[in-house]
């Protein structure tokens, strides 16, 4: 079976769900079906076909996990997605809020030759415009220890650098841009009121207050004072 865009979307959804999988290491079919926006019965049929191709391991009634071969294919889809996003922003001047949908299409059609050329033109970036890590051409994630934490967990007076955004809804990304939140921007936490659910951060001269649910979506690295 050739890796069609449907197959690739299932593998990608599993790869991204596995970060939050349950203790038995399986993604429930219902969760997978929601992620790829199909009925559970449709997802089950597809998962059985993927299992026959050796891309996943399926345990009826329990769930599904990627095989090593499926993991590698999924990582390469994400590599194409994230390099395309980076290319659209860095080379074509698009906004980080508008590149996801184009990358969803292009990730299935760009050739290896084209993607490696993009990678070289971009100087082999390690992250995409949203701070998501770009897997290598071998399908590996670069193993630098993940020191990023949600902004919501940072105490007052912590100096932080904004490194990754989890929620990539275009409206949310536009809101962040308007508030002065660019990837790499540094600021200082001036308020973290858990009772009221408010975090305030000062970036340059402007202060931005946000709810805890928003601050949970912004990953930062603590930097020395
Ligand atoms: Zn991205």
Tens-place pLDDT, residues 115-166: 999 999 999 999 999 999 999 999 988 765 578 899 999 999 999 999 999 9
- For ligand 1, the distance from its centroid to the CA atom of residue 225, given in whole angstroms, is 30
- Summarize the chain as % helix, strand, coil (round to 5): 40, 20, 40
The mean pLDDT of 60-68, rounded to a whole number, is: 93
The pLDDT of residue 19 is: 65
The pLDDT of residue 125 is: 96
The pLDDT of residue 17 is: 86
Percent of the chain clearing pLDDT 70 (strictly above): 95
pLDDT band at 99; cut points 50, 70, 90: very high
The pLDDT of residue 144 is: 58
pLDDT band at 1; cut points 50, 70, 90: very low
The pLDDT of residue 93 is: 96
- For ligand 1, the distance from its centroid to the CA atom of residue 180, given in whole angstroms, is 19
Name the CA radius of gyration of the chain, rounded.
19
β-sheet bridge partners, residue 59: 63
| Mean of pLDDT over the chain | 91
Distance CA 136, CA 97 (A): 24
Angle, helices 5-17/29-36, rounded to nearest 10 degrees: 120
Asked which of 40-44, 148-152, 192-196, 202-206 is least confident by mean pLDDT, the reply is 202-206
pTM of the model: 0.88
- For ligand 1, the distance from its centroid to the CA atom of residue 118, given in whole angstroms, is 16
The pLDDT of residue 181 is: 83
pLDDT band at 45; cut points 50, 70, 90: very high
- For ligand 1, the distance from its centroid to the CA atom of residue 62, given in whole angstroms, is 30
């Amino acid at each position: 079976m050739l890796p069609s865009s449907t197959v690739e979307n299932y593998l990608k959804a599993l790869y991204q769900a596995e970060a939050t999988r349950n203790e038995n290491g399986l993604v429930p079919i219902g969760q997978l079906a929601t992620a790829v926006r199909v009925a559970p019965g449709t997802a089950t049929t597809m998962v059985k076909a993927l299992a026959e191709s050796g891309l996943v391991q399926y345990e009826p009634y329990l769930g599904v996990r990627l095989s090593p071969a499926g993991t590698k294919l999924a990582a390469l889809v994400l590599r194409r997605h994230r390099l395309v996003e980076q290319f659209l922003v860095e080379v074509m001047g698009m906004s980080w809020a508008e590149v996801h949908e184009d990358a969803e299409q292009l990730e299935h059609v760009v050739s290896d030759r084209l993607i490696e050329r993009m990678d070289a033109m971009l100087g082999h970036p390690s992250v995409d415009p949203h701070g998501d890590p770009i897997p290598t051409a071998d399908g590996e994630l670069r193993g630098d220890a993940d020191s990023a934490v949600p902004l919501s967990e940072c105490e007052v007076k912590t100096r932080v650098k904004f490194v990754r955004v989890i929620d990539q809804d275009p409206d949310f990304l536009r809101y962040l841009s308007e508030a002065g939140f660019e990837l790499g921007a540094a600021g200082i936490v001036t308020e973290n009121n858990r009772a009221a659910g408010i975090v305030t951060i000062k970036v340059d001269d402007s202060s931005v207050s946000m709810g805890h649910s928003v601050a949970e979506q912004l990953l930062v690295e603590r930097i020395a004072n």
